[in-house]
Every structure is written in structure tokens, then in C-alpha cells.
Amino acid sequence: MSSIVIVGAQWGDEGKGKITNSLASCAEMVVRFQGGSNAGHTVSVSGEPVVFHLLPSGISVPGVLCVIGPGVVIDPVGLVAEIDEVRGKGIEVSSNFLIDVGAHMVMPYHRALEAAEEESRGNAAIGTTKKGIGPAYADRYSREGIPIGLLASFDRFEERLRAVAGRKNEMLTKLYGAEPLDIDGMLEEMRRVAERLAPHLADTPELVRTAIRSGENVIFEGAQGTLLDISFGTYPFVTSSHTSAAGVAPGTGVPPSMIGDIIGVAKAYVTRVGAGPFPTESFDRHGETIRERGKERGATTGRPRRCGWLDIVALNYAIAINGIDHLVITKLDVLDTFERIPVCVGYRIDGEETDRFPRNAEVLARVEPIYEEMPGWRASTHEAREDGDLPAEALAYIRKIEELTGVPVAAASVGASPHAVVQFAEIL
Ligand code: IMP
């Protein structure tokens, strides 16, 4: 098996970056297929936490080719800043990093329009990361977007930017009463970053297909989580890309038949950032304990994350949407201090019990979770590396997840360090 997909099985922030980073040492290529700088993948490099927003999480692993696929939206100015920051931490970003020419760019007017749109939504705001992701994808679909490959022909890029940005300024000023953006300033900045990004621009789909065909190990790295998928998430409280494994083919140019096992990453509990229904959200001191112990703050926005108990109904939905073959459970150690651990095994909706996840956000908001309580282990799992090292109750918790989902748990992460993993089965 030569390609795997790593996807978030909840509302994002499941710890995919750490898992991708540790599997990358057995891979030749790591490919991002969707999202943009709304992602924040925290990886521990030489004991220091490093957050990647656009760079694939394999970038710190020597010898791994990291690719941004055509399904990603790129803020070119932010990317150059991220490259500089990461290089400052001693990580090489040179010929080991390629950007597909077809990936679209996030421009300053996307961020300005998103800010104005979110404000005008009032109480119905989505709580986006304000990185311009939604408007950039909207432009791509309405044929108003600018692929990053156009930077290589700067005159044509300039012509296109002037036309598009002119229309966006009309929208900003006439529709939202906002200030117009300085198009000349934008062009100047783009000229600077175009030179910096030029060596990384490439036509990548054939490269990825060739790697898979020749038996190299390729990891497709997802961002955000399944429940934020534009088609299958809790619409409209979603992001604007296909966060599920279905996004790999259009986001990379690799056909579905060349895509191997799907690894679903889920926390031992659940978090969500931004607005939208969250059935197992805990509003009491337990939720606060999870937030504190799990350091649950957005890696991109710094917002405190909403926290709650593991939701098997939602997890089974994510397993079905993605076709998850193996689960990786992260942050098990965050539950180390709890006496009892509720697990949501069903929903009650308008008095009826169900094990089906309603995609409709209004119905989901009416869910009353049905919990089964598991005994806590009240011992540290930080040092556990094999299943025999885990307290019996912690192992029972993992086995319960397997029993309720019918999917094997390949590993459980028990700390931030790359080594803090209990491996139950080989993935790559
Ligand atoms: P956007 O992706 O910035 O458009 O935000 C849409 C929704 O997705 C908001 O609820 C965000 O909080 C959420 N979101 C976007 N990226 C992430 C992420 O990396 N982790 C968790 N939530 C995210």
C-alpha cells in the first residue's frame, strides 16, 4: 500500500499534524489537498512546538517532498512569511516544497469581504477564521479566482488582478460601505512574493501519481475535520472545502482508484471552534477541565475551543463518509484525571432515539445526547508506549471505541511529544 489519507473525524483540531509528521518519516511525499491558512497544525520539532498553516506537516522531516495540491487556497504573502518563520527555526524549505500551479490565491479583498460578510450576518455569523477562505473558494467556483501559476506571467497576473480587484472594491464600497483596497500596493507586494514563490511552482498531479505508481509512500494530509466539510458537514457552519477523504481526488489530481487506506484522527473527546451545533458540548467544570488540560485554544485564531465528550454517533458518521479504515485517538492523556467519562452512544431527537447523525444543523441543535459512562483511570498515561503500559480503564476506553465503531484503533496519542504514542498496529 503506497498512499494513505489522514483526515479529521470531528470538527478539526484532532491532532492530524502530529500524526502526519510522525508517519512522514516512513513516507516520500506529503500532499495537502484542501483548505488554506485557516488550518493550524501544531507539530513538535526538537521539543519545540511549531505551527504550520499552509506548509504540509511533513516539511520538518528531511527527504520528504511536501506538496500543496490544486485544491488548496493559498495566501501568498502569508505563505512567504510562514516559510521565513519555519526556516528561522532551522527547518529546510527549498526543493523539498512544491506548490501546484492550479491552487488558487487568497487575496486581501477576500479577507476584507469576509470580514464585512461576517459582520453583516450579526447573530447568524459562522465564526470563521477570517482568513478569506470562503470568498477565495467562492471566486474559484464563480470563475473569478486567480490560480497561483499566473504569478509566473506577471503582466497577465497584473491585468487580471486589476480587473478582479476593481470589481471587489465596488462591492466593498457600494455594498458594505467599507474602504476600497489599494490595488497598486497589492501589486507591489505580490511582485515581491512572486519572486520568492517562483522556484516552488510546479505541475504536481503527475508527480504524485508517478510516486504512487512507483511504490513510494504518499500521505494525503487533510485539514479541518469531516463535520466541517462543505457537503457533509453541519452546513452552514462549515468551512468551504471538502475536508473529507472525497476531497483528495479533485484536490490533488490523483484518481480515487490510486488512494489507499483512510486514517481517521479523532480526539478522545470533542472540540469545536466557531458557531454551530455541538450535541455533547460540556458547559460545566468538566468542559473547563478539558479545555485547560488539553490547552484547547485555536492554533490559528487563539480562540478558546468549545469542549465536550466523545460523540460516537458523529464519529460513526465520519467513518461512513470517509470510509475510515483505522482510527487514531489523540489526547487520551487529557482525560487522565476524570473519575467517570461519559461517551455519547445515541441521540434523542424530539423524543425519538436514533444512532443516525442528522446533517441538518437545525435538527442537530435539538439533539439530546444519550450517554454511557465509562470509569476513568485517574493515572498518568504520558509514559505509556505499548498497550500493556496503559491503565486497564484507559485500554477499556479504547476497546469501547472499537466496539462502538467497528473500526480498529491503530494508535493513541498520550502527549505532545512525537514519541508519546501507544501503537496498537502498523499503519504505513
Ligand atoms: P473558515 O474555514 O475560516 O471559513 O471557517 C469556517 C468554520 O470552520 C468556522 O467554524 C471555523 O472555526 C472552522 N475552522 C476552520 N478551520 C479550522 C481548523 O483548522 N480547526 C477547527 N475549526 C476550523
Superfamily holding 2-101+200-261: Adenylosuccinate Synthetase, subunit A, domain 1 (3.40.440.10)
The x, y and z cell numbers of residue 100, run together, are 501546484
According to DSSP, the β-strands at 262-267 and 326-330 are parallel
* For ligand 1, atom 16: residue with the closest CA: 38
pLDDT, mean of residues 377-403: 97
Query: Which of 226, 234, 239 has the most ligand 1 atoms within 8 A of CB, as the residue to mutate?
Result: 239
pLDDT, mean of residues 211-216: 96
pLDDT in tens, 314-338: 999 999 999 999 999 999 999 999 9
pLDDT, mean of residues 14-33: 94
1 confidence band (pLDDT: 50, 70, 90):
very low
pTM, to two decimals: 0.97
pLDDT higher than 90, residue 428:
no
pLDDT higher than 70, residue 388:
yes
Vertex 317: Cα angle to 242 and 141 (nearest 5): 15
Fold match between 2-101+200-261 and 105-197? no
Closest ligand 1 atom to 114 CA: 4
Q: Can you tell me the distance from the alpha carbon of 90 to that of 17, in angstroms, rounded to the nearest whole number?
A: 18
- Quote the pLDDT of residue 66: 98
Instruction: Say which CATH topology domain 105-197 has.
Output: Adenylosuccinate Synthetase, subunit A; domain 2 (1.10.300)
Distance 35 CA to ligand 1 centre (A): 9
DSSP conformational letter for 203: -
CA atoms 330, 334, 340, 346: torsion sign: negative
Cβ 13 under 6 angstroms from ligand 1: yes
- Quote the pLDDT of residue 427: 78
Cβ 129 under 6 angstroms from ligand 1: yes
299 confidence band (pLDDT: 50, 70, 90):
confident
Cβ 131 under 6 angstroms from ligand 1: yes
Name the residues annotated as catalytic: 13, 41
pLDDT in tens, 64-76: 999 999 999 999 9
Q: Can you tell me the distance from the alpha carbon of 428 to that of 253, in angstroms, rounded to the nearest whole number?
A: 22
Q: How many CB atoms lie within 10 A of CB 55?
A: 24
User: Do residues 21 and 328 lie in contact, with contact meaning Cβ atoms separated by under 8 Å?
Assistant: no
- Quote the pLDDT of residue 107: 98
Cβ 128 under 6 angstroms from ligand 1: yes
* For ligand 1, atom 20: residue with the closest CA: 12
Categorise residue 282: left if φ over 0, alpha if ψ from -120 to 50, beta otherwise.
beta
- Quote the pLDDT of residue 48: 87
Cβ 271 under 6 angstroms from ligand 1: no
- Quote the pLDDT of residue 96: 98
Domain boundaries, the chain: 2-101+200-261, 105-197, 266-423
Q: How many CB atoms lie within 10 A of CB 47?
A: 8
Distance 246 CA to ligand 1 centre (A): 18
Distance 127 CA to ligand 1 centre (A): 8
pLDDT, mean of residues 272-289: 96
Cβ 39 under 6 angstroms from ligand 1: yes
pLDDT in tens, 124-161: 999 999 999 999 999 999 999 999 999 999 999 999 99
- Quote the pLDDT of residue 227: 98
Distance 11 CA to ligand 1 centre (A): 8
Q: Which residue has the cell 489507499?
A: 260
Q: If DSSP codes are grouped into helix, strand and coil, which group holds residue 87?
A: helix
Q: What are phi and psi of 253, to 5 degrees?
A: 85, 15
Dump the DSSP string for 272-311.
E-SSS--TTB--SHHHHHHHHHTT-B-TTT-PBPEEE--B
CATH architecture of 266-423: Alpha-Beta Complex (3.90)
pLDDT higher than 90, residue 220:
yes
pLDDT in tens, 79-123: 999 999 999 999 999 999 999 999 999 999 999 999 999 999 999
Residues 6+ apart with CB under 8 A from 284: none
Q: Can you tell me the distance from the alpha carbon of 321 to that of 327, in angstroms, rounded to the nearest whole number?
A: 14
Query: Which of 11, 106, 114, 128 has the most ligand 1 atoms within 8 A of CB, as the residue to mutate?
Result: 128
- Quote the pLDDT of residue 292: 96
